[in-house]
Amino acid sequence: MRAATNWKPPAICLLVGLALITVPDPIASSIRSHVIDMARPGQQAVAELVDRLEGWHPLEGTARVADNHRQDLEAARLEIRRLRIANARLVERAVAGRTDSSQPPLITTDLVPARVLGHETIAAWQAGRILDRGRGLPVDSLVVEPGHATLDLGVDSGLARGQPAYAGRRVAGRISRVGRWTSTLQPLTDTRFRGLARLARRGRDRPVFSARGMLEGCGDGFCRLTLVPATEVVARYDLVYTDGRDQPGGWPMLYGTVVRAELPDGAPHWEIRIRPAINLDELQNVEILTRTLNPQRSNSPGVLAQ
């Protein structure tokens, strides 16, 4: 059985449309504006609903929460790794500390500061114009050596011949002669001065070391670096440091800077000229590297019996 069709609503809408066509334009415009005003709230509600549906992403919040948890997890892993590394370093330091405490070094080193006596002071001493306040400091107790600076320390301060002397991190020379009250300093530019050396280039944080050689004084205010093989790379402004184990704190000290490097045809070694890092004529203070037996080792029981 077919359902009956309701023809009344379409017929009413058709009649209303024909009536609007036949009525004058001012009346039709007024009717249209009233109809639009009545329909506007519904249109706004529908538009707001559409905007909400477009902006609603049910999985976005879940993904954002998952990303935050992933970042927290990664940060926790990095922190655990950092703590493990720090703990390993602390363990190494503790082990090293126990080793050092159980086995102290046999030889201990120290830097003894000394002052360079001026020429006027030396001349006054030699002329007997230095007041000794009755302490009996004869003129012959002053150690003087031509071309060598005189220091105001001697045997009583633990100085001995051959001890290296520094001015900060720069090499000044070594002790040449020692008296009771004074001693003389052989400069690194002296023709009899010899020292193990190593070339280096300036790095970002520390020198980058390369070839080894022997530093020798030239006697004219400069030094030369010998025995550097021709196969090595040497350039002007390279640095020259001390080499070997007998250094304060194990840190290389600076001899000077390369001012000329030549490689003659067929020569097995470079010819390298060095400018000292210090001005010996203006030297006022030095530090002498001294070495003594560690009393913790030398006075330990059973050392003499062995």
The structural domains of the chain, with segments of one domain joined by +, span 14-54, 61-103, 107-298
> Running DSSP on this structure, what letter comes out for residue 138?
-
CB 164 within 8 A of CB 204: no
> Is it the case that residue 139 has pLDDT exceeding 90?
no
CATH code that applies to domain 107-298: 2.40.10.350
Q: What is the pTM of this model?
A: 0.61
Please determine, for residue 90, whether its predicted confidence score (pLDDT) is greater than 90: no
- Bridge partners, residue 274, by sequence: 223, 258
Q: State the pLDDT at residue 11.
A: 72
b/e for 216-235, b at 16 or more Cβ within 10 A? Answer: bbeeeebbbbeebeeeeebe
Average pLDDT over residues 194-200: 95
Residue recorded with tokens 């002296």: 190
pLDDT at 162: 93
Give the model confidence (pLDDT) of 249-292 as tens digits.
778 999 999 999 999 999 999 999 999 999 988 899 999 998 88
pLDDT at 303: 43
pLDDT at 122 > cutoff 60: yes
Q: Where are the beta strands (DSSP E) in 179-220?
A: 183-187, 194-201, 208-217
**Candidate from 130-139, 193-202, 253-262 with smallest mean pLDDT:** 130-139
Find the mean pLDDT for residues 101-106. Answer: 67
Average pLDDT, the chain: 79
User: Distance between CA 9 and CA 36 in Å, rounded?
Assistant: 20
Task: Please name the amino acid found at residue 270.
Answer: W
203 or 163, which is more confident? Answer: 163
**Residues 245, 266 contacting (CB under 8 angstroms):** no
The model's pLDDT over 2-49, given as tens digits with 9 standing for 90+, comes to 555 667 777 776 676 666 666 666 666 666 666 666 666 666 766 676
| Letter string b/e over residues 18-41, b meaning 16 or more CB atoms within 10 A of that residue's CB | eeeeeeeeeeeeeeeeeeeeeeee
Q: How confident is the model at residue 124 (pLDDT cuts 50, 70, 90)?
A: confident
Q: Which two tokens stand for residue 264?
A: 């003659």
Tokens of 152: 């105001």
Instruction: Please give the torsion angle defined by the CA atoms of residues 77, 80, 81 and 82, in that order, rounded to the nearest 10 degrees.
Output: 120
